Amino acid sequence: MRDTFLSEINRSISAGSDPLQVIPDLANRHFPAWDDDGGEGYASVFSYTVPADGTYYLLVISTPSEKTSGTYQLTVAVNSPRPLTGEEESTGDTIAVFDATASLANVAVQELYGTLSPNHTLDNYALLPVKKGDRFYAYTEPTSGDLIPVIILHDYGFKRLSAGIAGGPNTSTTLQYIFQEDDSNNHLQITTDPRGGENVSGDYRLLVGLNAPEVLSGYASPTPQEVIRQPIKVKTGIELEQLTSIDQKNENFGVVANIWMEWNDPRLAFSPDTCDCSYKVYRNIDDFASEYDDLWPEFTLFNQQERRWTQNQLILVRPDGTATYFERFWVTLQAPDFNFRKFPFDSQQFYIRLDSLYPEDIYVFTPWEEKTAIGTQLGEEEWYITDSGANVSST
């Protein structure tokens, strides 16, 4: 029902219809009663007179007008207007029962691929938070090479919870585990079986599921819900505004530059009606980090030689969890690659090296082309900028 409703809305909007008109028209056609934000702020509320005895279903979905996510609280009453006035005190009577089967609650299947080699013998995957009683399933099989995969499930302190070992080369491996409590920061590791020797390498396919036992067969279909927390991609760009100095003897140079970063993390999302604002601004990292539990892609300037002086710094967070970081700074940077033997007709490469402080299963830098630029008045007249660009490397 939800897929049909949303697909009809999307088709109408794509055809040029007004969303403010399309959504009410289709909702009235599909549902006996509905509401989007008729309550206080963005809360939804409605009343409905039951026409006949029977079983009725209450459908809760995210607003179809934009992409949103988060937790919610539902208040249901019979022959009482309390929900209409915002009162939430319960009488203890059971009025509605959550239908986990119809909702596909906590059911998720995800498919991933990886490669192990003598120089890379371990892949680590972070699981999304789980609930007490959730059943976790994993299946892996080699797809090339002489790989014998091993699956190990760890808790947040890397205590081993369960493991699966293949019978030999070219055979699949399975693992299953029931979580005993609400938990987060669990890890799944794929490594090589020592029986294969030191030079084992090959590709593998990994299928993981939550409350989806069909994963053990290796043929489960992936769902929109994920099991493994994917690394957050961080668009990163540097605008070079000025070259303040170039010291040939000490092999360094000074710059005035801007750092831009942008990423989306659902954990940063908020409802605009909680602050009557369309975005939040933080003018120093400490304020942002204390509110969001350090959920930001910390970095260091790898070739920084002296203190970095920051002129401006801010983070802007939008309701959907998109954060934009800006910093204007000046600093002296090391340049050990300088070679002046062809002076004064030498060509040099100047690097500003931004180094992520977190492993790649948490944050991954990607070039932000629009924010990677060179200023028009650099201040060093004896130098000509012939080319510039950004690249990301993994070490």
Q: Give residue 169's pLDDT.
A: 61
Q: Is residue 154 part of a domain?
A: yes
Tally of domains within the chain: 3
CA-CA-CA-CA torsion sign (174, 360, 114, 368): positive
Per DSSP, what are the bridge partners of residue 164? 151
Residues of the chain with pLDDT under 50: none
Q: Are residues 120 and 70 in the same domain?
A: no
Residues 70 and 187 in one domain: no
pLDDT of residue 65: 65
**Residue finishing a domain among 217, 240, 255:** 217
Helix (H, G, I), strand (E, B) or coil at 12: helix
Q: For residue 247, give its domain range.
A: 232-374
Could you give the CA distance from residue 361 to residue 229 in angstroms, rounded to a whole number? 8
CA angle 334, 337, 338 (to 5 degrees): 90
**Residue-level pLDDT at 334:** 92
pLDDT of residue 340: 76
| 177 and 261, same domain (yes or no) | no
116 and 24 together in one domain: no
pTM (2 d.p.):
0.79
Q: In angstroms, rounded to a whole number, what is the distance separating the alpha carbons of residues 243 and 197?
A: 53
Distance CA 318, CA 331 (A): 30
> How long is the chain?
395
